[in-house]
Structure 1
Amino acid sequence: MDYPPPHIQDPRSAHTHTVILLHGRGSDGPELAEDFLSGMTSQRISLSDSLPSLRWVFPTSRIRQSTVFKEEMCTWFDASSLDDIQKDSELQIEGLRESVHHIIGILESEISLLDGRSDRVFLGGISQGMATSLWALLCAPGRVTTPLAGFLGSCGWLPFSHQAEHLMSCSGTQLDSNHRKRLTSEFFRNTITDPTTPLTQDTDSLSVLETPVFLSHGGDDPYVSISLGQQAAQVLRAIDMNVEQHEFTGAEADGHWIKEPEGFDQILRFIQQHKANSHTV
């Protein structure tokens, strides 16, 4: 089954940057767009109104059979548990393989629309969307050859993070930053690569893994433990990625969402900061 076309909100002024955001399990692109773009900052202005030159792209996953819910639903990959993310981990591989291919394709397309300027494209997601987009970023070397403007993740986790941490611990401290980046990227790509359709030809350019990262998570999130978000940040920092991390309590959806207005203020500041940086290049 093909993936539906992304939901797109075009910029209200001259197009300078793009944000690609992935929804969580059971949601879809239009629903995330409605909820996210209506989120208010402390100035009582939405992100959409605050950033008129941005093109917003909200992909939708294909329909899959859910092991947990015993029904078909909109989900980037299957998983049997978030209490134990290592349980039946092989269930995640097929969906991650398909979804990562799909998202990297969208990423390449959006970069092309901005004259090849990857530093004008943000990538990220919420919950399972963060998990999938983070995998796409880690698998991108060889297809995206320069850093993105930034990565935005909320209330999510990193599948196979235990294995990645073990890989780093076994490598010891003798490896420099580029070797750790290469080792980690190869681990994630090799986990999902179908030999008949390789994800990428090489990993010569690792600079996409210099993309600045923003992560936020609710300490009272009942669906994805904040410890999983912290573990994701640890993996990224282990390969010397610059991670800005925020924790909060009291967000809507029982804590499994972005805290309003503080969380939207933080996202706005992050985008504005790295949006400004790209103009200087």
Structure 2
Amino acid sequence: MSDELLPTVEVGGGDQARYSVIWMHGLGADGHDFEPIVPELRLPNDPAIRFIFPHAPVRPVTLNGGMAMRAWYDIVTLGGGAPQDAEGIAASAAQIHQLIEREGERGVPPERLVLAGFSQGGAIALHTGLRYPQRLAGIMGLSTYLPLADRFAAERHEANAETPVFLAHGQMDPVLDISLGRNSQQTLEQHGYRVEWHEYSMVHQVCFEEIEAISRWLQTVLTD
């Protein structure tokens, strides 16, 4: 892994930010993908929140015929039971650790920071946040799943055992079936996590009602 920080898109906050949201995009997208969602959240006092949208590294993706694209890890095939790129997942988690540490240097400690992501980016948010050794404000996964679930019980960190988790999924998602999201919700709840679960009549996307729910949840967790 490179010692260089991932390139990012930043919205709001500036030097006065009290809170941060690190939000990872999905496969083949980039950090600009969710940039337009910030004003749609209609958060009060939004200048106090710094939104950070990192660009995933460019790498070959087996699922797409080895085509190089922005991806947090390689994907061989979709669906439960498929082989998972544990090495790639760990490398991306380490890069997100670097961004969390930088926020600490800029005055935002982990307890005032949310890790979020969509699809593959949501998998990295869950994987990284639930293993992070310091308490985070919240962890959000949209249209995603808990990767390397068979290792979760052994690798999760107690620092985030009580951290609020937000999960949302489309009932007609043709990319990541909603069963993957529901199974992830159940796994977390079986381990005592506080999961706020939402499902919507949509495909692999984000809808207006979901944005409203995200806004309410962020306002709950981003408080002193």
TM-score (normalizing by structure 2) = 0.89
1:151 aligns to 2:139 (yes or no): yes
Alpha-carbon distance between aligned partners in 2 of 1:207 and 1:266, rounded to the nearest angstrom: 25
- The number of residue pairs the alignment matches comes to 221
Q: Which structure 2 residues correspond to residues 44-193 of structure 1 after superposition, within 5 A?
A: 46-47=41-42, 51-70=46-65, 71-83=67-79, 85-89=80-84, 92-114=85-107, 117-141=109-133, 144=134, 147-161=135-149, 163-164=150-151, 183-185=154-156
Structure 1 residue 50: Cα displacement: 6.7
**Corresponding position of 1:257:** 205
Decide whether the 8 Å contact of 1:23 with 1:32 is kept in 2.
Answer: yes
Alpha-carbon distance between aligned partners in 2 of 1:114 and 1:257, rounded to the nearest angstrom: 33
Q: Kindly provide the amino acid, as one letter, of the partner of residue 68 in structure 2.
A: E
Post-superposition CA distance 1:65-122 (Å, at most 9, x none): 1111121111000111113x32233xx122112101101111122133235x322111
Structure 1 residue 6: Cα displacement: 1.3
**Corresponding position of 1:267:** 214
The percent of aligned pairs where both chains have the same amino acid is 30
Residues 47 and 127 of structure 1: is their aligned pair in 2 closer, same or farther, counting only changes over 3 Å? farther
Alpha-carbon distance between aligned partners in 1 of 2:144 and 2:214, rounded to the nearest angstrom: 15
**Corresponding position of 1:193:** none
Decide whether the 8 Å contact of 2:73 with 2:92 is kept in 1.
Answer: yes
Alpha-carbon distance between aligned partners in 1 of 2:59 and 2:42, rounded to the nearest angstrom: 31
Alpha-carbon distance between aligned partners in 2 of 1:112 and 1:235, rounded to the nearest angstrom: 34
Structure 1 residue 221: Cα displacement: 1.0
Structure 1 residue 58: Cα displacement: 0.6
Q: Kindly provide the amino acid, as one letter, of the partner of residue 109 in structure 1.
A: R
Q: Which structure 2 residues correspond to residues 186-265 of structure 1 after superposition, within 5 A?
A: 206-250=158-202, 255-260=203-208, 262-265=209-212
What secondary structure does 1:257 align onto?
coil
* Structure 1: gaps (5+ residues): 41-45, 166-179, 186-202
Q: Kindly provide the amino acid, as one letter, of the partner of residue 59 in structure 1.
A: P
2:33 aligned to 25, 31, 34, which one?
31
Decide whether the 8 Å contact of 1:47 with 1:264 is kept in 2.
Answer: no
Residues 208 and 111 of structure 1: is their aligned pair in 2 closer, same or farther, counting only changes over 3 Å? farther
Q: Kindly provide the amino acid, as one letter, of the partner of residue 67 in structure 1.
A: T
Structure 1 residue 155: Cα displacement: 0.3
What secondary structure does 1:31 align onto?
coil
Decide whether the 8 Å contact of 1:86 with 1:160 is kept in 2.
Answer: no
Alpha-carbon distance between aligned partners in 2 of 1:114 and 1:140, rounded to the nearest angstrom: 19
Alpha-carbon distance between aligned partners in 2 of 1:149 and 1:160, rounded to the nearest angstrom: 23
TM-score (normalizing by structure 1) = 0.72
Tell which structure's C-alpha radius of gyration is larger.
1
Post-superposition CA distance 1:132-187 (Å, at most 9, x none): 1111113312xx2xx211111110011222x258xxxxxxxxxxxxxx6xx342xx
Post-superposition CA distance 1:198-234 (Å, at most 9, x none): xxxxx6xx22232111111110111111110111112
1:7 aligns to 2:9 (yes or no): yes
What secondary structure does 1:20 align onto?
strand
RMSD, matched Cα: 2.2
